[in-house]
Amino acid sequence: MKAAILISVEVNKLSGVLNEVKKVSGVKEAFSVAGRADIVAIIEAKDLNELSKISVKLNSILGVSTTETLIEAKVGE
């Protein structure tokens, strides 16, 4: 399954958080963005349980203030 996790970070923590996000297993890509979130992490997980574990790891990174997980919806398939 695929997901995008939107990550908001504390002021002046973006660079350090982004580097840590990229190290988390299951994160296929991570980049900073302009908008309501500061970072988008693209995730590939075998199931919802694994996705949940990845989300918990991302939330535990020092400097992360909030996350929002967007799960791929295969509409029309």
Can you name the residues that pair with 76 across neighbouring β-strands? none
- In this prediction, residue 8 carries a pLDDT of 98
Number of domains in the chain: 1
Task: Please give the residue range of the domain that contains residue 19.
Answer: 2-71
- Residue 11 is part of a domain; what is its CATH number? 3.30.70.920
pTM comes to: 0.93
Name the band, by pLDDT with cuts 50, 70 and 90, for residue 75.
Answer: confident
- Angstrom distance (rounded) from CA 50 to CA 53: 5
Q: What are the tens digits of pLDDT across the range 3-22?
A: 999 999 999 999 999 999 99
Element (H, E) at 7: strand 2-9
60 falls within a domain? yes
Q: Is residue 46 part of a domain?
A: yes
